[in-house]
A and B are shown apart, each in its own frame.
Chain A
Amino acid sequence: LAKTTQPISMDSYEGQEVNITCSHNNIATNDYITWYQQFPSQGPRFIIQGYKTKVTNEVASLFIPADRKSSTLSLPRVSLSDTAVYYCLVGVDWTSGSARQLTFGSGTQLTVLP
């Protein structure tokens, strides 16, 4: 099982760029890397997904090195409303025959300060 490791918490100030790194040393060939954001008492919300190199969307960028053993979620110019828990998730395609659970790690509590 591809276990993920993230920092427990991070603090930042409004307007700064925040980078959250996730380690997944046992990532499998077919695994994608997906990041979710969760606000208190709400369900997690998809942010971004990638397989290799760099992916960018309207809210974040995801950097994945060649060995894919880690990934970095980059949030540009954070605001107070970005204060949330961020989860890194690594999964595998069922067609590979592996019974993989979609398990969330402990996540990173990001606190954006004024």
Chain B
Amino acid sequence: DSGVTQTPKHLITATGQRVTLRCSPRSGDLSVYWYQQSLDQGLQFLIQYYNGEERAKGNILERFSAQQFPDLHSELNLSSLELGDSALYFCASSVSSSTNEKLFFGSGTQLSVL
């Protein structure tokens, strides 16, 4: 158990809908990262937050947004969903914002867009 909690584990929705994925980092970790993993794309970095502030942005679509709350949990919002958004979404956390930090990953949210 990595200590990172992601909910829900599975999400099935329809095209055009909006969903929210939630992540609780390990106790004491200030950084949260979001990754998308689809079958043919590997692990794609989406966005990183550190202590409530956005720190780095990757290949995140404009339809997607995220935030980190004062209690350090994070939410990834996906809107106007398309079939191609079906993927495994991982959240990871680390102690600091350093990219040399060890990342701890959650078990992921499997999103299926029908």
CB distance from B57 to the nearest CB of A (A): 8
B58 touches A43 (CB 8 A): no
CB <8 Å contact, A43 and B92? yes
Give the contacting residue for B98; candidates A41, A93, A99, A104; CB below 8 A: A93
Pair B100/A31 contact, Cβ less than 8 Å: yes
A45-B2, A92-B100, A94-B97 known; A102 vs B33 contact (CB < 8 Å):
yes
Q: Once the chains bind, are A87 and B100 in contact (CB under 8 Å)?
A: no
B25 within 8 A of A: no
The segment from B12-20, B41-49, B61-69 that touches chain A is B41-49
CB neighbours of A30 from chain B (8 A): 100
Chain A positions within 8 Å of B92 at CB level = 43-44
Q: In the complex, are the beta carbons of A91 and B100 less than 8 A apart? A: yes
Q: Number of contact residues on A: which range applies? A: 20 to 34
Give Cα A88–Cα B43 distance, bound, in whole angstroms. Answer: 12
Chain B stretch 58-114: residues in CB contact (< 8 A) with chain A? 58, 88, 90, 92, 96-108, 110
Separation of A19 and B103 alpha carbons in the complex (Å): 23
A70 contacts B by Cβ under 8 Å: no
List the A side residues contacting B105 at CB < 8 Å: 42-45
Instruction: Please state if B42 and A104 are interface contacts (CB–CB under 8 Å).
Output: yes
| Known A41-B108, A42-B107, A45-B105; contact A32-B45, beta-carbon cutoff 8 A | no
Q: Is A99's CB under 8 angstroms from B43's CB?
A: no
Residues B43 and A44 in contact, CB atoms below 8 Å apart: yes
Pair B99/A92 contact, Cβ less than 8 Å: yes
Interface assignment of B11: CB less than 8 Å from any CB of chain A: no
| CB-defined contacts of A102 to chain B, threshold 8 Å | 33, 45, 48, 56, 99, 103
- Interface residues of chain B, those whose CB is within 8 Å of chain A, are 2, 4, 33, 35, 42-43, 45, 48, 55-56, 58, 88, 90, 92, 96-108, 110
